[in-house]
Amino acid sequence: MTEIAPRITVSPDVRFGKPVIKGTRVPVETVLARLSAGMTFEEVEREYGLCRDDVLAALAYAAKVVAQEEVRVTA
For residue 7, give every residue at least 6 positions away whose Cβ sits within 8 Å of its Cβ, in sequence order, or none. Answer: 21, 22, 53, 54, 57
Its pTM stands at 0.92
User: Model confidence at 75, in pLDDT bands (50, 70, 90)?
Assistant: confident
Give mean pLDDT, residues 66-74: 93
What are the structural domains, with CATH classification, of the chain?
A: 2-68 (1.10.10.10)
pLDDT in tens, 9-32: 999 999 999 999 999 999 999 999
